């Protein structure tokens, strides 16, 4: 749970809240690392206890002072990192011994009796079909020309349990080219185990663990022919069906239609993609339904009618200048509140950094007086500098804020002209002639949510209407488009039968 710019475990935060209202004057813990192993979190906890006049005691050390708490947090963090290194080194040994060092891939099971890390192929028990048979079926159907979407749909239709326990999707089969996972890419199925493909790191701004792909040189491979489920030749033939290695499409792909990538299904919140063309008109369909058949929305929608309805709704919204002015007013009020929080969080971090620098200065003075020996002084100063570095990272992670904005009538008028231009062209595709208008309109729309109803179709437009405004302090003779984002409440054009 986030508290200011510090991430605190919910249990610890609940404890601090209870202590604040209980009248308790002493908090006793078995060891300080039971509170936290992060020096930044420890600083926040200690400050909170001090504010409420609560002493911190540990069974091993008795009463704990601020400096002791900070040092012990650093020591605990170093111990945690050392343990992580030892675990990873042990896993490396497991891999070199031909054993598993991680989770159980789909298609395998742990033997009833055996050593830790051993796996065997799941061939079933004579009554229930084993996972290995499903893997072989997937490879066979892919070679026979079925797409991953078709295979996933057939598995879902037959109610065969997916690896995650949810639904089969094409991504379950395709996986990631870079990480070489997914049933159709994982080399374990041809008898080659790979380890250390990703590293998990914790994002200091959110507290969430994020996986990062490791370099190829850091990946450890080991041949385990006894775990091969499919023939190596079959595995390689399936790999040849994947697109060749190239730059990720998102780095060069340009929107081809007016609302490319913005259409979403109102039933499952999945994206929508092209189904087919009927009499030259593009029809869109829920991608989740197409890939896994796990969405109930099987309808197809003409893209030109979606565009027509959306433009009509935008035109209506642009005519409501008073409503837009109220949105800007609400945005500026919220911005002021967030600005105050960010400024206060920055002040707290700056104060913590200043205190650490003062401690470092005192340590140098004690070293020069001979109070501390060089080894101890160096250890403590290094710990302080690490703390300062972490606080600097937390400060840089604080959210930046956009400028205060004002509604500019000329900007509204210009966007309205763009909407009229696109509507008069009856254009769905983006061309050189309408690109300027199309790109401006795309800035107004964040998502178009399409929901089937008993009669007709409901369309809701989620917009970034703040792109109609310009920075209040920006000196310019002519209003410019873009730059400021204000979340709209959503626009609902009249329901129509699409």
199 or 493, higher pLDDT: 199
Q: Do 234 and 278 belong to one domain?
A: no
Q: Do 420 and 316 belong to one domain?
A: yes
* Lowest pLDDT segment from 190-194, 331-335, 432-436: 331-335
Q: Do 214 and 295 belong to one domain?
A: no
Residue numbers of the domain that contains 192: 108-239
The residue from 34, 66, 96 where one domain ends is: 96
C-alpha 209/C-alpha 202 separation (Å) is 4
The residue from 46, 70, 96 where one domain ends is: 96
Kindly state the tokens that stand for 27: 């908090």
Q: What one-character DSSP code corresponds to residue 402?
A: P
Q: What one-character DSSP code corresponds to residue 43?
A: H
358 in any annotated domain: no
Q: Do 309 and 449 belong to one domain?
A: yes
Q: Do 154 and 81 belong to one domain?
A: no
291 or 226, higher pLDDT: 226
Q: How far is C-alpha 362 from the chain's CA centre?
A: 42
Hunting for tokens 């992060």 — which residue is that? 38
Q: H helices within 158-206, ranges in order?
A: 170-174
Whether the CB-CB separation of 470 and 411 falls below 8 Å is answered with: yes
103 in any annotated domain: no
265 or 75, higher pLDDT: 265
434 or 90, higher pLDDT: 434
383 in any annotated domain: no
Q: Do 426 and 335 belong to one domain?
A: yes
453 in any annotated domain: yes
pLDDT of residue 189: 92
Q: H helices then E strands: how many in the chain? A: 13, 19
Whether the CB-CB separation of 59 and 35 falls below 8 Å is answered with: no
Q: Do 26 and 133 belong to one domain?
A: no
Distances in Å between the Cα of 215 and the Cα atoms of 179, 218, 220 are: 10, 5, 11
Closest Cα partner for 469 from 454, 488, 450, 451?
488
Q: With 80 as the cut, is the pLDDT of residue 322 above it?
A: no
- Sign of the dihedral through C-alpha 306, 309, 313, 318: positive
Share above pLDDT 70 across residues of the chain, in percent, rounded to a whole number: 74
pLDDT (mean) for 258-279: 87
Whether the CB-CB separation of 103 and 94 falls below 8 Å is answered with: no
C-alpha 100/C-alpha 85 separation (Å) is 18
pLDDT of residue 234: 92
Q: Do 90 and 112 belong to one domain?
A: no
C-alpha 35/C-alpha 352 separation (Å) is 20
Domain of 43, CATH number, reads 3.40.50
Q: What is the pTM of this model?
A: 0.43
pLDDT of residue 255: 66
Kindly state the tokens that stand for 288: 């989740």
Q: With 60 as the cut, is the pLDDT of residue 447 above it?
A: yes
Q: With 70 as the cut, is the pLDDT of residue 473 above it?
A: no
C-alpha 228/C-alpha 346 separation (Å) is 55
* Total structural domains within the chain: 3
355 in any annotated domain: no
Q: H helices within 101-180, ranges in order?
A: 131-143, 148-157, 170-174
pLDDT of residue 396: 78
pLDDT (mean) for 425-429: 70
Q: Do 336 and 467 belong to one domain?
A: yes
67 in any annotated domain: yes
Q: Do 423 and 494 belong to one domain?
A: yes
Q: Label residue 334 by pLDDT band (50, 70, 90).
A: low
Mapped onto helix, strand or coil, the DSSP state of residue 210 is: strand
Average per-residue pLDDT for the chain:
76
The residue from 239, 269, 303 where one domain ends is: 239
124 in any annotated domain: yes
C-alpha 422/C-alpha 435 separation (Å) is 10
224 or 216, higher pLDDT: 224
Q: Do 186 and 207 belong to one domain?
A: yes
Q: Do 65 and 133 belong to one domain?
A: no
Got the DSSP string for 77-106?
Answer: HHHHHHHHHHHHHHHHHHHHTT---S---T
169 in any annotated domain: yes
Q: With 90 as the cut, is the pLDDT of residue 210 above it?
A: no
Q: With 70 as the cut, is the pLDDT of residue 395 above it?
A: yes
pLDDT of residue 479: 35
- How does pLDDT run across 248-265, given as a tens digit for each residue? 444 445 567 888 888 999
pLDDT of residue 467: 44
């Amino acid at each position: 749970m986030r508290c200011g710019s510090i991430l605190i475990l919910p249990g610890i935060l609940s404890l601090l809240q209870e202590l604040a209202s209980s009248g308790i004057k002493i908090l006793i813990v078995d060891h300080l690392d039971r509170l936290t192993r992060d020096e930044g979190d420890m600083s926040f906890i200690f400050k909170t206890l001090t504010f409420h006049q609560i002493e911190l005691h540990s069974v091993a050390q008795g009463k704990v002072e601020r400096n002791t708490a900070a040092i012990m947090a650093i020591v605990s963090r170093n111990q945690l990192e050392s343990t992580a290194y030892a675990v990873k080194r042990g896993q490396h040994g497991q891999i070199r011994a031909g054993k598993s060092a991680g989770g159980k891939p789909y298609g395998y099971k742990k033997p009833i009796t055996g050593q830790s890390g051993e796996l065997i192929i799941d061939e079933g028990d004579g009554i229930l079909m084993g996972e290995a048979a499903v893997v072989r079926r997937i490879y066979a159907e892919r070679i026979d020309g079925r797409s991953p979407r078709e295979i996933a749909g057939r598995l879902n239709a037959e109610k065969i349990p997916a690896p995650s326990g949810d639904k089969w999707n094409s991504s379950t089969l395709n996986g990631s080219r870079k990480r070489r996972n997914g049933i159709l890419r994982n080399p374990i199925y041809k008898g080659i185990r790979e380890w250390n493909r990703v590293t998990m790191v914790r994002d200091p701004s959110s507290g969430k663990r994020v996986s990062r792909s490791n370099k190829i040189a850091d990946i450890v491979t080991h041949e385990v022919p006894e775990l091969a489920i499919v023939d190596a030749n079959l595995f390689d033939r399936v790999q040849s069906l994947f697109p060749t290695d190239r730059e990720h499409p998102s780095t060069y792909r340009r929107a081809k239609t007016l609302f490319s990538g913005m259409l979403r299904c109102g039933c499952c919140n999945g994206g929508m993609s092209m189904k087919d063309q009927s009499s030259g008109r593009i029809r869109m369909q829920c991608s989740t339904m197409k890939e896994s058949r796990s969405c109930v929305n099987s309808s197809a929608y003409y893209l030109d009618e979606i565009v027509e309805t959306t433009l009509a709704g935008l035109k209506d919204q642009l005519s409501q200048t008073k409503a837009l002015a109220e949105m800007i007013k609400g945005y500026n009020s919220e911005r002021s509140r967030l600005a105050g929080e960010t400024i206060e969080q920055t002040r707290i971090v700056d104060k913590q950094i200043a205190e650490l620098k003062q401690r470092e200065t005192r340590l140098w003075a004690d070293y020069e007086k001979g109070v501390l020996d060089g080894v101890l002084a160096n250890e403590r100063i290094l710990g302080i500098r690490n703390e300062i570095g972490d606080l600097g990272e937390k400060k840089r992670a604080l959210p930046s804020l956009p400028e205060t904005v004002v509604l500019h009538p000329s900007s509204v008028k210009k966007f309205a002209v763009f909407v009229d231009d696109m509507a008069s062209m009856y254009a769905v595709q983006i061309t050189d002639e309408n690109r300027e208008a199309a790109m401006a309109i795309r800035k107004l729309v964040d998502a178009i949510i399409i929901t089937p109803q008993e009669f007709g179709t409901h369309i809701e437009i989620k917009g970034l209407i703040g792109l109609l405004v310009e920075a209040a302090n920006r000196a310019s003779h002519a209003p410019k488009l873009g730059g400021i984002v204000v979340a709209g409440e959503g626009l609902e054009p009249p329901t129509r039968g699409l």
